[in-house]
């Protein structure tokens, strides 16, 4: 009975830990989804309230016209969609419906979007923006922007987005890709589509959306573009080993645990119990399953994560 009690206590602790994790994830997803919707709404307010006098400045005029094409806004949209899917799945978990057809599909697309789009592009946006900003802010966020864009808004779309990656990595085990082929399709569709949009803007308007490209000649632009794709792809690759460092390696099932330690029949105080007849009642009226087998199934069904 000592082993049984230990297994019950272990299962109880694991279940409690899982509930705490779900509670933290739900709070985070609610707060950040509402926050990002608010930030996006405030961005629309900024866009609509740029005055005619401010539009006399060519940089602010470009900001007004080209706002939908900034990759920062694309990335914020990806994060908002991901947080919405995460929140819906959290609600289904609270209702114990996460294994339903709807719950399975939402979890699938939530993880595919996070791994294939949210994490690599967020790492690129935040890392590249602040690196160039530290060298020369005029190349990526001209000082004239401060007259229409509050400082906190800049941090919401370029700094705060990293918090999503940090919290998700700590609270959610994603040791491997959900569907590598689909994630790569999404990744390269976004990367190549934005390149087409970006260079089309240059050839049509004769101006770069980000001025960092304006200080380069064409072969440098090509190398820089290849570097952007390469480093973003590296971000995609390294997310999985980092997640395994946090949550541990993929749990393995010991085949010996699945096998009853006796042969076809178990003899206990003269009673013959047949393990193949699970759920049936033996001749003496006692159930045919042993306590250890019952509680072993509880232990094996709990989520195996360090968190």
In whole angstroms, give the CA distance from residue 277 to residue 288: 7
**In this predicted structure, what is the pLDDT of residue 28?**
97
- What six digits make up the tokens of 84? 């919405």
pLDDT of residue 305: 54
If one counts every other C-beta atom within 10 angstroms of the C-beta of residue 297, the result is: 11
Q: What is the pLDDT of residue 4?
A: 59
Residue by residue, pLDDT tens for the chain (307 residues) are 566 555 656 556 667 888 899 999 999 999 999 999 999 999 999 999 999 999 999 999 999 999 999 999 999 999 999 999 999 999 999 999 999 999 999 999 999 999 999 999 999 999 999 999 999 999 999 999 999 999 999 999 999 999 999 999 999 999 999 999 999 999 999 999 999 999 999 999 999 999 999 999 999 999 999 999 999 999 999 999 999 999 988 776 554 444 444 444 444 444 444 444 444 444 444 444 444 444 444 444 444 455 5
pLDDT at 250: 77
CA dihedral 65, 67, 71, 73 (to 10 degrees): -160
CA dist 45 → 42, 49, 50 (Å): 5, 6, 9
- The residues that bridge with 273 in the sheet, in sequence order, are 266
Location of structure tokens 């230990």: 6
Write out the H or E segment, with its range, that includes residue 135: helix 119-135
Integer Cα distance of 250 and 173 in angstroms: 10
Nearest to 201 by CA among 188, 189, 190, 214: 214
Query: What pLDDT score was predicted for residue 91?
Result: 97
């Amino acid at each position: 009975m000592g082993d049984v009690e230990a297994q019950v206590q272990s299962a109880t602790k694991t279940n409690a830990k899982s509930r705490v994790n779900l509670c933290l994830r739900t709070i985070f997803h609610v707060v950040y989804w509402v926050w990002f919707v608010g930030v996006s709404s405030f961005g629309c307010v900024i866009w609509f309230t740029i005055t005619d006098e401010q539009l006399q400045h060519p940089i602010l005029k470009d900001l007004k016209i080209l706002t939908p094409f900034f990759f920062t806004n694309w990335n914020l949209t990806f994060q908002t969609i991901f947080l919405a899917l995460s929140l819906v799945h959290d609600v289904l978990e609270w209702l114990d419906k996460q294994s339903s057809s709807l719950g399975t599909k939402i979890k699938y697309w939530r993880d595919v979007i996070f791994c294939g789009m949210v994490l690599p592009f967020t790492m690129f946006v935040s890392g590249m923006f602040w690196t160039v900003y530290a060298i020369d802010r005029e190349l990526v966020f001209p000082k004239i922007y401060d007259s229409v864009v509050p400082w906190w808004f800049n941090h919401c779309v370029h700094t705060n987005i990293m918090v999503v990656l940090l919290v998700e990595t700590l609270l959610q085990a994603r040791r491997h890709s959900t569907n590598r082929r689909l994630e790569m399709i999404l990744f390269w569709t976004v990367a190549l589509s934005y390149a087409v949009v970006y260079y089309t803007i240059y050839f049509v308007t004769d101006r770069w959306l980000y001025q960092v490209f304006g200080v380069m000649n064409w072969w440098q632009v090509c190398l820089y573009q290849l570097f952007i794709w390469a480093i973003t792809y590296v971000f995609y690759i390294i997310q999985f080993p980092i997640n395994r460092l946090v949550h541990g390696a993929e749990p393995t099932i010991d085949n010996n645990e699945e096998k009853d330690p006796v042969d076809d029949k178990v003899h206990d105080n003269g009673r013959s119990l047949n393990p193949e007849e699970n759920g049936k009642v033996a001749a003496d009226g006692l159930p045919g399953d042993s306590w250890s087998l019952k509680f072993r199934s509880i232990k094996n069904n709990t989520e195996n994560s360090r968190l």
